């Protein structure tokens, strides 16, 4: 009867493809299968009695408080036009170089990722602000689209990322479950802070690879990435350009240092650092005279909407996982992964491939809440490092969100791109960046220390 759990999982995917809401699909499918199981005496209703305790655990989970706080910070920065000012400043600084606009977009995408952590908002913002400018300056449409999509998805991997907050909480639970299953009754813990620190080097590696690719294009095909003449960039001397760029760069940098610095320095947990970021975003908005009642109302409503969506999905995923476990799905997955040829490598490869394909139809929230609790304990029980596993999942999903024809980042950009930019331009533009993503994924897979070394150094005293 364990195969009923796989049928239930397939039913969820099919229902989602029909366009039904994710949270209701997860909960509704689970309840239907549970009802059928109870009627056929193949499901123990005692599993459903655990749900109230699960939900209470969600309500009292301090780590998840970081989600609305980071969402608030990101939306506030978006509404206060920090991104627009930052992009303008970076374009002034690098625009005189061939490929300078592409470099500016990549660096701004990195800074926005570290400031907001919201992938969709970053891609849309960068698309609206930079794509028309790049096309106007004679940039190749394919390179422009690829750069914007790739830099916009950096919010998946560069902390403080909402993806890493949610993933860190789920990985932590999976790690404890794996140790308990192995008879370790004083389990070690892994925190969101560990994932934040572990993601720094892989995230910066991705940015470096993006920049090297753009520089390479500038050398091989200079006509595709023309420089902007000084007279068109700014009215003033070089020193004035540098001062203006510094003014645009300092506010978000200070916010990033305040958030990440407090975590790296051991002064605050990710949740506490998120509150620092939320307050800092309001201060920046106030300095820019953007902190009006209308802006605050819009930010609070948007934050509430995103947060409600995240937690409603979490409730649906909790119900789904209980029913999945009630049908013996955990044991089935464990047996399937353990019997694969290649041992740990084979199991990891299959899980990464499945998650990559699921990234075409599911958002990172659904994958994190539904898939990771199922496969995470099995992989971690095989001896994989939890921080490394979390970073690998994050990079893998980032790659999936870039891959045609279903990548979420492509849809976001298509929605704001001008009619002159074809869907084919977007697809062909992201192809080199997908190769870069795979190189980075393979590099982190081959050298796990890229993800695990820094957390051990930073939290050595723990």
pLDDT tens for each residue of 80-93: 777 777 777 777 77
pLDDT for res 391? 93
Confidence band of 295 (pLDDT split at 50, 70, 90): confident
Q: Among 257-261, 280-284, 352-356, where is mean pLDDT lowest? A: 257-261
pLDDT for res 207? 92
Within 8 A by CB and 6+ apart from 96, the residues are: 227, 228, 229, 230, 233
Q: Cα–Cα distance between 451 and 12 in angstroms, integer?
A: 33
Higher pLDDT, 454 or 16: 454
Residue with tokens 């109870």: 38
pLDDT tens readout for residues 425-441: 888 999 999 999 999 99
Residue 340 scores a pLDDT above 60: yes
Whole-prediction pTM: 0.83
Answer yes or no: are the C-beta atoms of 26 and 317 closer than 8 Å. Answer: yes
pLDDT for res 242? 73
Residue with tokens 């932590």: 172
Confidence band of 232 (pLDDT split at 50, 70, 90): low
Domain boundaries, the chain: 3-39+66-458
Average confidence (pLDDT) over 169-179: 86
- Percent of the chain exceeding pLDDT 90 equals 15
pLDDT for res 13? 79
Find the radius of gyration of the CA atoms of the chain: 23
Q: Among 19-28, 80-89, 390-399, where is mean pLDDT lowest? A: 80-89
Residue 461 scores a pLDDT above 60: no
Q: Among 228-232, 316-320, 337-341, where is mean pLDDT lowest? A: 228-232
Q: Cα–Cα distance between 375 and 15 in angstroms, integer?
A: 22
Confidence band of 44 (pLDDT split at 50, 70, 90): confident
Residue 418 scores a pLDDT above 80: yes
Residue 265 scores a pLDDT above 90: no
Confidence band of 462 (pLDDT split at 50, 70, 90): very low
pLDDT for res 115? 64
pLDDT for res 206? 92
Q: Cα–Cα distance between 376 and 380 in angstroms, integer?
A: 6
Helix-helix angle 423-446:449-458, to 10 degrees: 60
Residue with tokens 């994710």: 22
Confidence band of 201 (pLDDT split at 50, 70, 90): very high
Residue 420 scores a pLDDT above 70: yes
Average confidence (pLDDT) over 290-313: 86
């Amino acid at each position: 009867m364990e195969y009923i759990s796989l049928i239930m999982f397939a039913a969820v995917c099919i229902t989602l493809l029909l366009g039904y809401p994710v949270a209701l699909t997860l909960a509704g499918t689970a309840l239907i299968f549970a009802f059928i199981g109870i009627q056929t005496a193949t499901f123990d209703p005692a599993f459903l009695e655990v749900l109230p305790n699960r939900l209470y655990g969600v309500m009292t989970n301090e780590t998840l408080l970081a989600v609305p706080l980071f969402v608030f910070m990101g939306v506030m920065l978006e509404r206060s036009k920090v991104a627009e000012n930052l992009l303008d400043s970076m374009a002034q600084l690098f625009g005189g170089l061939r490929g300078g606009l592409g470099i500016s977009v990549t660096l701004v995408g990195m800074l926005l990722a570290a400031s907001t952590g919201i992938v969709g908002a970053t891609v849309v913002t960068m698309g609206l602000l930079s794509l028309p400018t790049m096309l106007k300056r004679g940039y190749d449409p394919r390179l422009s689209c690829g750069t914007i999509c790739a830099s916009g998805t950096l919010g998946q991997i560069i902390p403080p990322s909402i993806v890493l907050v949610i993933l860190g909480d789920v990985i932590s639970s999976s790690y404890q479950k794996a140790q308990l299953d192995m008879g370790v009754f004083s389990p070690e813990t892994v925190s969101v802070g560990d994932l934040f620190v572990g993601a720094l080097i892989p995230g910066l590696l991705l940015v470096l690879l993006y920049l090297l690719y753009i520089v390479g294009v500038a050398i091989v095909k200079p006509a595709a990435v023309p420089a902007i003449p000084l007279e068109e960039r700014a009215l003033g001397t070089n020193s004035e350009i540098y001062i203006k760029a510094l003014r645009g760069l300092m506010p978000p940098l200070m916010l990033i240092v305040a958030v990440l610095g407090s975590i790296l320095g051991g002064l605050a947990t990710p949740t506490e650092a998120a509150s620092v970021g939320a307050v800092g975003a309001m201060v920046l908005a106030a300095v820019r005279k953007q902190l009006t009642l209308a802006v605050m109302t819009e930010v609070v409503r948007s934050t509430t909407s995103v947060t409600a969506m995240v937690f409603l999905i979490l409730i649906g995923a909790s119900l789904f996982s209980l029913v999945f476990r009630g049908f013996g799905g955990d044991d089935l997955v464990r047996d399937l992964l353990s019997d694969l040829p290649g041992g740990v490598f084979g199991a990891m490869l299959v899980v990464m491939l499945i998650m990559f394909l699921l990234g075409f139809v599911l958002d990172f929230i659904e994958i994190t809440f539904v898939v990771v609790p199922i496969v995470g304990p099995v992989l971690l029980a095989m001896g994989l490092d939890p921080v490394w596993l979390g970073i690998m999942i994050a990079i893998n999903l980032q790659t999936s969100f870039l891959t045609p024809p279903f990548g979420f980042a492509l849809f976001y950009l298509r929605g704001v791109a001008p009619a002159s930019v074809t869907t084919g331009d977007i697809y062909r533009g992201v192809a080199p960046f997908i190769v870069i993503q795979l190189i980075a994924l393979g590099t982190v897979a081959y050298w796990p220390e890229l993800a695990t070394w820094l957390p051990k150094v930073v939290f050595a005293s723990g």
